[in-house]
């Protein structure tokens, strides 16, 4: 009778191979760690870039992309208090939060590129006064419009991230986003593409492992005609007539897209029980993106 042997003992080589398996979690581990503790501590989220992160062109602050994403995160990671949600605060005038939960700070500067979307004073405020733990960067849109070479743009972002990380008093994560490709006349005339900036920015993930993440949003906009191609021209009416800034529907699509790509949970809704001998209770409408197609 042949005796079956047990599982082979693990070796250092086995452990090393296990460590090479990529994570199935799309959210940066440090971001998830902080959000998991939002019920017990304040967690600051910052939005740094140009006019998009001013929630520009939204009909109100609460319909802007940074405020929408903040409220989505707040609902996914509630602090357990009655007043749980709030729109983002203006970065320059916000005060340090002592209330547990997620707090958003919008720090967009209209027209800013990679050289000036942050300042040394903003670095100090982000890392010390507000102690922001999750920093979203949207830095390249205006550089493309101003014909700044991708290598120069990435060097500027590298410099700001280096300053932020040198000044922070606790670990933080930096998420660099590439938004849709604008198609106003100035952007179209640029010799550079959005993809060139994002490809160059990928090097920052290797330079700051586990601390910097680069996510390109532009491929998700192309099938919707942003920018126009193959006869498809912004069919969902996401972009204003300037072919540059988002309308409310675009802000919501942007926020939901980032939420989904980062694996931020949608707020859980309790399942309704069937009443005894009765029909199921009518479903309540869930949060969804309402789209109006162009005529």
3-state DSSP helix/strand/coil % of the chain, to nearest 5: 35, 15, 50
Spatial neighbors of 77 by CB under 8 A, at least 6 apart, are: 35, 36, 38, 39, 43, 101, 102
pTM over 0.85: no
CATH architecture of 26-261: 3-Layer(aba) Sandwich (3.40)
The pLDDT tens digits for 229-258 are 777 899 999 999 999 999 999 999 999 999
Written as six digits, the tokens of 59 are 């009909």
Q: What are the pLDDT digits (tens) for 40-68?
A: 999 999 999 999 998 888 998 889 999 99
Least confident piece of the model among 90-94, 263-267, 270-274: 270-274
* Confidence bin at 85 (pLDDT 50/70/90): low
Average pLDDT, whole number, for the chain? 84
Question: Which pLDDT score is estimated for 94?
Answer: 87
96-121 confidence digits (pLDDT tens)? 888 899 999 999 999 999 999 999 99
Structure-block tokens of residue 193: 């593409």
The arithmetic mean of pLDDT across residues 265-292, rounded, is 45
């Amino acid at each position: 009778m042949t005796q079956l042997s047990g599982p082979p003992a693990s070796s250092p080589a086995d452990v090393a191979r296990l460590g090479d398996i990529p994570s199935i979690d799309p959210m940066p581990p440090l971001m998830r760690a902080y959000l998991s503790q939002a019920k017990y501590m304040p967690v600051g989220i910052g939005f740094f870039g140009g006019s998009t992160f001013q929630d520009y062109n939204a009909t109100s602050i609460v319909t802007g992309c940074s405020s929408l994403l903040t409220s989505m995160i707040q609902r996914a990671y509630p602090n357990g208090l009655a007043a749980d949600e709030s729109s983002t605060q203006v970065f320059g005038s916000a005060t340090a939060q002592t209330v547990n939960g997620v707090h958003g700070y919008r720090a967009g500067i209209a027209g800013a590129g990679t050289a000036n979307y942050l300042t040394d004073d903003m670095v100090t405020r982000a890392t010390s006064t507000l102690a922001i733990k999750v920093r979203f960067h949207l830095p390249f849109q205006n550089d493309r419009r101003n014909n700044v070479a991708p290598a120069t743009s990435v060097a500027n972002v590298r410099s700001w991230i280096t300053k932020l990380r040198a000044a922070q008093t606790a670990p933080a994560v930096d998420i660099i986003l590439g938004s849709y490709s604008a198609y106003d006349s100035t952007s179209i005339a640029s010799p550079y593409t959005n993809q060139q900036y994002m490809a160059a920015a990928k090097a920052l993930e290797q330079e700051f492992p586990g601390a910097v993440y680069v996510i390109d949003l532009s491929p998700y906009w192309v099938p919707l005609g942003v920018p126009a191609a193959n006869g498809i021209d912004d069919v969902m009416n996401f972009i204003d007539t300037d072919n540059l800034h988002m309308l409310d529907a675009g802000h919501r699509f942007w926020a939901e897209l980032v939420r989904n790509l980062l694996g931020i949970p949608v707020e859980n809704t309790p399942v309704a029980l069937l009443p005894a001998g009765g029909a199921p209770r009518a479903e309540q409408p869930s949060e969804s993106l309402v789209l109006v197609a162009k005529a």
